[in-house]
Each structure stands twice: as structure tokens, then as C-alpha cells.
Amino acid sequence: MSGSPGRPGSPGSPGGFDSPPPTGGFVRRVGLFQATAINMSQMCGIGPFVTIPLMVAAFGGPQAVIGFVAGAVLALCDGLVWAELGASMPGSGGSYVYLRQAFQYRTGRLMPFLFVWTAMLFIPLIMSTGVVGFVQYLGYLAPDLTRTQGDLVGLGIVALVVMLLWRGIEHIARITAVMWAVMIASVVLVIAAAATDFSPHLAFTYPARAFDLTSNHFWLGFAAGLTIGIYDYLGYNTTAYMGAEIKDPGRTLPRSILFSILGIMAIYLLLQIGTLGVIDWRRMADPHDIASTSVASAVLEETWGKGAADTVTVLILITAFASVFTGLLGGSRVPYDAARDRVFFRPYEKLHPRHRFPTLGLATMGVITAIGFLIGRHTDLATLIQLLTTVMVIVQALAQILALSVLRRRQPALRRPYRMWLYPLPGILAFAGWCVIYGYADKNSPGRHPVEWSLAWLALGCVAFLIWARLEKVWPFGEKEVTEEYLTVPAPEAEPAGT
């Protein structure tokens, strides 16, 4: 599961709406190794432990590996978009900055506002998948857990996370390091256990017509698998949101994105194939089998016994909790920074008087996380993933690909230390991939209507923007503010070694 999308540009940093101050600001201390590790830590959380059965169910067999490969290809193509934009505008903010720079000429602050508006929904929905995963794996340790008890446990986890964050948190780096270590231990233990009792017959025996490209069933499964796959890779763009803290960003940002995607792809393939070589795929597709909800625990029980399975399950529960904790920590800052930059509603810029955290942003995202958890519990996890990806697609994914072309035309003099390989082919492939995810969302979630819900949320965001713009007296009720600060920002230099 990916982490939060970082924090938007702030006053005093390239990408904010105010001019950079003469002193202060972020220091470029994050090198290539650290940047790649940051991306990978955000990409791999509870996600792979809960989506392997979903992928198998979508494809109907061990050919589900195709979904993880397809997700990696989409992530690579989309990652090249992030690589050029991040290297060209290496400030703090990511999509928030790129959308503002590209679309300010025609629609003022509409696009960055809509990005924050959609982030207010898709960030907590991502976190809610972690809570769903927590309850699923808790069911392995407590098989008599009822649905109502599971709902109460999940809501209690959300409340506990919000309470811990409400009191103010110190030593966040240590918490993140512990989460990363526990996650790596969980993945390595599952892969190692699978390797000790691996059956090629289970992993590579496919059902009839598994690769029938003329079958509508195959392509529906592929679209569902692509959605699940890209969900598992989300987070490859984390360093783009930290551009102001990256050494030599023109080289480091593109490499950190590509290396992290390739590294996580290798981990996921080992995990997927290893799991399929131990647990019959039909068990994963059976909703009444424990392998459909706690497949990693089932692998450990099958290979090393119940005690090892219980131990790894506890590690996975810690991973799930920590990912929700750090995700809401970062996500709650998104509306705060935007409000401080006068791109969102001003009440979101208020901080707790003592602990100095954004109270309204944390409370709002906590409530949406709880609602998303209940949706996932009473529909299914796949539907929740469909909903959060459709919310992301229009404003972030598709709009950002268009932003790359707009900026090449509008700001040809912009310094571009990295240019997309084979431009514009990767962007076109990424655009097509996101359109497949969006177009097939309703077909893969019959009766759930994730596309309609995402469009309704976007329409509501446009109404909210008009209300906000009227209050702030900005376009379309005032002058456009066009800023091209990256045309005049000098090339960032890396910190000297040893600093």
C-alpha cells in the first residue's frame, strides 16, 4: 500500500505561491539510496498481503502474475512522467505544483484546488484499505471474530491512530524505520517460507483458456488486475513530493523512481509466484477459505507451522497499523499546506495551539478513513480499490500526463535535466492504461458505480471551488495569478559530501 502523496508546495519553497525567502527552507540531503528506499517503503505495506487473492480471483488462475507485471509497466510509463516533471520543478509539492504551473494560464487555481479536493478522498481511502487488511489478518488469529466485532475493531484502530496523532508525534523517522524493518521482515519470511516448500506444479499449471486473448473474460480480468497492480505500486512518486530535499534532483529523482519500481516488481513477483507454489489458487479464490483473506499466514502455516504463521501475522498487523499511522500523518498535512498557500479553505490552515498539527485536516481524513473502512467491509476490498483509483485518475493521473505536454509548449525554456525517453510514447501508454482502469471500473464492480461516484465527487469539487474562489476573489471572480518561477530558479546543487 502506498503512503500519502506528500505535502504540497509551501510559501518559501519553489512550488509555493509566494517568493522564496533569501534564507531558510529545505536542505538537499537525500541521496539516491535514501530516495529509492523512501519510495520503496511507501510502495510496499499491507498491499501485497491482501491483494494476491484478489488478483487470482480476477484472472481465475496462476496467470494472475500478469496483473503485477502490467501494473509495473503502467507504473514505469507513468513514472517517466513524474521523472521529467520532478526533475524540472524540484520543489516541495509534486502534482500540486505541476498542475498549477501547467493549467494556471486558462483555469487559474482550479486544478491544484481539485487535486487537494480529490486527495481529501483518495488518501483516506488508501488508508482504509490498510484497516480492512488489518481486520482480515486479525481474523486468522481470532477465527471466531464476527463481522460486527471486526467492524468495531477497525473503527477502534482508526480512532486510536487519530488519538495518537492528535497528541502530537515526535521521532517520526524512528517510527517509519521500524515500520520499514517490520514490513521487510514480513515479506522476506513469506518468500523464504514459500521457497522451502515450493511446487512448480501448483504455480505453473493453468486452467483451460487461461491466455485466450479473444475472451472477454480475460480482458475483464486484465483490467481488474491492472487496477489492483497499480494500487500495489502506488508510492513510486513519493520523492517527487520531496523535491526540495533531494540532492542533484535532475539525476536522483528519475533514478529513484525507476529503481524503486523495478525493485518492488522483483519483490512482488517472488511473493506472488512463491505463494502460488504453496497454496492452491482455488483456495485463494474461495471466499470461505482463510487463504482468501490471510494468504501470507496460510503460506507460513503450510510450510513452517502454526507458530511461525502466528508470528508473521503479528508482524503483518504491525505493518498495517503503522502504514495507516504514517499515511494519515502525512495526508492530514495536504489540505493544511494548500490552505496556507491560499488554494483551499482557510479553516484547514489552523494548527492545534499546543501540539502544532492540523486539527481539521486530521479529523476530516480520520472520518473518511472510517467510512471507507466500512464500505470495504460491507462490499469488498476490490470495490474500495476501484473507488480510490477512479478518484485519482482524472485530476492526478490523466491531468498530469497532459500537464507534461502543456509545459513543453508553454514553458519551452524550462530547465529539463531529464527528458522522458521516447517522448511521448510512455505518456500515451500511461494515459491508455489509466483510461482502461477508469473505463472498466464499473464493469469490474457491478452495482457499485465507482465511476459515477468519482464524477460526483469531482463535480462537487468544482462547486466547492466556485464557492471558495468567490470568497477569495480569485479567478473566475478575480484576476488570474500567473507565476513561472521555475523559469528563473537556478539549477539546484547537491549538498557537499559529509554535510
498 vs 310, higher pLDDT? 310
Which of the four pLDDT bands, split at 50, 70 and 90, describes residue 341? confident
User: According to the model, what pLDDT value does residue 1 have?
Assistant: 53
Say whether pLDDT at 487 is over 90: no
In angstroms, the CA 338 to CA 111 distance is 12
Model confidence band, residue 204 (pLDDT cutoffs 50, 70, 90): very high
Give the cell for residue 290: 482463510
Hey, what's the cell of 173?
523517522
**Grid coordinates representing 64?**
494472475
Mean pLDDT for all residues in the chain: 85
Instruction: Please check the confidence at residue 230 and state whether its pLDDT lies above 90.
Output: yes
Decide if pLDDT at 353 tops 90. no
pLDDT of residue 173: 53
Of the candidates 271, 294, 290, 292, the residue with the CA atom closest to the CA atom of residue 137: 294
Cα–Cα distance measured from residue 101 to residue 112, given in angstroms and rounded to the nearest whole number? 9
The pLDDT value recorded for residue 146 is 92
Query: Once rounded to an integer, what is the mean pLDDT over residues 208-237?
Result: 90
Instruction: Kindly tell me if the per-residue pLDDT of 14 is higher than 60.
Output: no
Q: Supply the pTM of this predicted model.
A: 0.86
| Cα–Cα distance measured from residue 126 to residue 494, given in angstroms and rounded to the nearest whole number | 33
Average pLDDT over residues 5-26: 38
Distance (Å, whole) CA 289 – CA 38: 35
Least confident range from 20-29, 74-83, 182-191, 420-429: namely 20-29
Residue 496 clears pLDDT 50, i.e. is over it: no
pLDDT at 371 over 90: yes
Residues whose CB falls within 8 Å of the CB of residue 11, separated by 6 or more in sequence, listed in order: 17, 18, 340, 341
Least confident of 159-173, 223-237, 266-280: 159-173
The grid cell for 212 is 485466450
Task: Give the pLDDT band (50/70/90) at residue 176.
Answer: low
Residue 39: which of 267, 240, 327 has the closest Cα? 240
What is the distance between the alpha carbons of residues 391 and 368, in angstroms, rounded to a whole number? 14
C-alpha 365/C-alpha 349 separation (Å) is 15
Of 315-319, 323-327, 453-457, which gets the smallest average pLDDT? 323-327
pLDDT higher than 60, residue 198: yes
The answer, yes or no, to whether residue 32 has pLDDT greater than 60, is: yes
The reported pLDDT for the residue numbered 494 is 46
Residue range 9-14: mean pLDDT, rounded = 35
Residue 141 has pLDDT above 80, yes or no: yes
Residue 421: CB atoms within 10 A of its CB come to: 12
pLDDT for position 7: 40
Contact criterion met (CB below 8 Å) for 83 and 468: no
pLDDT at 301: 94
182-186, 260-264, 352-356: which has the minimum mean pLDDT? Answer: 352-356
pLDDT band for position 270 (cuts 50, 70, 90): very high
Render pLDDT for 95-138 as a digit per residue (tens, 0 to 9). Answer: 888 998 999 999 999 999 999 999 999 989 999 999 999 999 99
- Quick one: pLDDT band at residue 369, thresholds 50, 70, 90? very high
* The pLDDT value given to residue 483: 85
